[in-house]
């Protein structure tokens, strides 16, 4: 039985002439244990899809079965419990509560389960150890680096042992070294048997995915299996225009070398050859610049 089953799901915003279609009769089935990377330009409906799958939003039309149960029929409190017990979210902007320390942030989902304080802090402590942040338990979120913050968020997503992890551009705000750490962590989670759905702009990250879904204008335009450990084949062509990265580059930042390529050239060629990722070059360029700055400082 598929863990996620979407049938002709649509999401519309607005009324009449102002209607905007975010999702246009999307059907998607995800089996348990898959690592699905969702790619596509901004506004292609990736996030909307994730929000609907994560029960944060409701589809305008169509059916959604989560674990074989029709979601539309669930009352809001049931949906909240499903979010709590079967889904873990990792956001691009981390979304930790700034006034709680790391330990309490991680333990928060257990709070809503009604678990006692001592017990839930013990659990949170274990999970934090697993993501390598055992020594940051009593830090406040603002005292952590981006990568650490995202790892805390992953720990929070994992604490209820959810079947599904939904990660909406988890590395979008991170430099490449941190990205790598976060991705390795997600990969471990995947190996432990969890289903992962990840939105990304970075073709490099399809390395970790077992399946890649491409979206455009609210429609799934391609849906292909991928081999873990390799960049997806249809993305390789675009990779020719990217520098080869070595382990060293990864440490310095996945796309530090992007700076070597003049921006105009990159932009032109990308626009011509790969319409799917117009923003890609820019994002990578930024990330690389950040990495370089960090390198200079240290």
Partner 1 sequence: MIGRSGNLRIAIEALRSSKWRSLLTMLGIIIGVVSVVTTVSLGEGAKRGVISQIEQSGADLITVRPGITENNDNKTSGLVGSNYNGTLSNRDLEVIRKVPGAYSVVPFSYVANTASQEDVIFNKGLVIGTTGGLPQVLGQKMQYGTFFKEDEPQRDTAVIGQRVAEQLFGENVPIGKFMTIRGKQFMVQGIFEEFDTSALVPGTDYNYAIFVQYDTGKELTGDSDIYQILVRPKKDVGSSVLAADITKALQKSHANQEDFTVLEQKDKLAEANNLLTLMTGFVASIAGISLVVGGIGILNIMLVAVTERTHEIGIRKAIGATNKQILNQFMTEAVILSSVGGVIGIIMSLLTNYLFRIFTDLTPILTWPIMAIAFGVSVLVGIIFGVTPALTAARKRPIDALRYE
Q: How far is the CB of 95 from partner 1 (least distance, A)?
A: 5
User: Measured in whole angstroms, how far is the alpha carbon of residue 193 from the centre of its chain?
Assistant: 17
- Residue by residue, DSSP assigns 141-205 as GGGS-HHHHHHHHHHHHHTT--SEEEEESTTTTS-HHHHHHHHHHHHHHHHTT-EEEEE-S-GGG
**Positions 184 through 213 that interact with partner 1 (CB under 8 A):** none
Among 8, 20, 42, 97, binds partner 1 (CB under 8 A): 97
Shorter beta-carbon distance to partner 1: residue 106 or 235: 106
Residue 109 makes contact with partner 1 by CB under 8 A: yes
Among 70, 99, 275, 286, binds partner 1 (CB under 8 A): 99
DSSP-derived 3-state class of residue 208:
helix
Shorter beta-carbon distance to partner 1: residue 68 or 114: 114
Among 27, 29, 42, 111, binds partner 1 (CB under 8 A): 111
Q: Using CB under 8 A as the criterion, what x/- string covers residues 54-83 for binding partner 1?
A: xxxx------------------xx--xx-x
Q: What sign does the dihedral 190-195-200-205 (CA atoms) show?
A: positive
Residue 89 makes contact with partner 1 by CB under 8 A: yes
Contact 204, 234 (CB under 8 A): no
Query: Which of these ranges, 60-68, 106-114, 192-200, 253-261, lies near partner 1 under the rule CB under 8 A?
Result: 106-114
Range list of β-strands (E), 56-163: 61-66, 69-70, 87-90
Residue 116 makes contact with partner 1 by CB under 8 A: yes
User: Measured in whole angstroms, how far is the alpha carbon of residue 152 from the centre of its chain?
Assistant: 14
Residue 90 DSSP label: E
Edge-to-edge strand ranges of the sheet holding 35-39: 87-90, 164-168, 195-199, 35-39, 211-216, 219-225
Among 156, 180, 190, 207, binds partner 1 (CB under 8 A): 156
Residue numbers at the binding site for partner 1 (CB under 8 A): 51, 54-57, 76-77, 80-81, 83-85, 89, 95-97, 99, 108-109, 111-117, 156, 160
């Amino acid at each position: 039985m598929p863990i996620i089953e979407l049938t002709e799901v649509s999401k519309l915003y607005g009324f009449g002439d102002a209607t905007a279609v975010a999702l246009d009769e999307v059907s998607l089935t995800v089996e348990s244990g898959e690592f699905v990377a969702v790619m596509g330009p901004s506004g292609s409906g990736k996030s909307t899809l994730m929000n609907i799958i994560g029960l944060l939003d409701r589809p305008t039309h169509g059916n959604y079965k989560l674990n074989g149960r029709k979601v539309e029929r669930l009352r809001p409190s049931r949906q909240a419990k499903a979010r709590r017990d079967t889904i873990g979210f990792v956001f691009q902007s981390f979304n930790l509560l700034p006034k709680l320390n790391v330990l309490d942030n991680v333990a928060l989902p257990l709070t809503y389960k009604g678990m006692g304080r001592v017990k839930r802090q013990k659990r949170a402590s274990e999970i934090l150890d697993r993501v390598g942040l055992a020594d940051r338990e009593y830090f406040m979120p603002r005292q952590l680096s981006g990568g650490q913050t995202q790892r805390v968020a992953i720990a929070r997503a994992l604490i209820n042992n959810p079947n599904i992890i939904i990660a909406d551009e988890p590395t979008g705000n991170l430099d490449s070294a941190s990205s790598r750490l976060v991705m390795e962590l997600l990969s471990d989670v995947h190996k432990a048997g969890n289903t992962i759905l990840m939105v990304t702009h970075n073709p490099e990250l399809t390395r970790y995915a077992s399946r890649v879904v491409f979206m455009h204008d609210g429609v799934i335009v391609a849906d292909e299996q991928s081999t873990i450990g390799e960049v997806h084949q249809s993305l390789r062509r675009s990779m020719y225009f990217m520098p080869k990265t070595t382990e060293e580059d990864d440490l310095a930042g996945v796309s530090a070398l992007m700076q070597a390529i003049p921006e105009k050239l990159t932009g032109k060629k990308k626009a011509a050859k790969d319409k799917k990722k117009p923003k890609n070059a820019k994002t990578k360029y930024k990330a690389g610049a950040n990495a370089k700055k960090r390198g200079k400082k240290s």
